[in-house]
Amino acid sequence: MTKTDAGFMKLVNDLACGPRDLSPEQFNLLHSALGFVGEAAEAADWVKKHVVYGQPLNRVELIKEMGDAEFYFAMMRRELGIEREEVLAVVQEKLAARYPAGTFTQKDSVERKDEDA
């Protein structure tokens, strides 16, 4: 192991959290977040196969992964007491602020007027 590797691994060991007891709410939140990320990666893989490898888009499998991701989002919303309508309202407000003309522009995308300075 190189000196750089050893130094990095010491940092990892020093900063890594050990096992801890999770409440059911924490466990469900973690489960839903990791589940969503996993399903999003699987959906991205189907898109990669289509775009990068030129395979026909497998809509059935992509829809399955999107449904799985939606399941985990619903679990997260339930755990946090957030209704789907609230999420949609917040994102619509954010995008309206970001794209005031109602259409995508590179300038608006870069300036991100919806974000705090």
Alpha-carbon span 81 to 68, nearest angstrom: 20
Position 5 scores a pLDDT of 87
Averaged pLDDT in 10-residue chunks for the chain of 117 residues: 88 81 92 97 98 98 97 96 97 94 93 77
pTM for the complete prediction? 0.78
Q: What does the pLDDT read at residue 14?
A: 86
**What token pair was written down for 70?**
């939606």
Distance CA 55, CA 37 (A): 24
* Helix/strand/coil for 110: helix
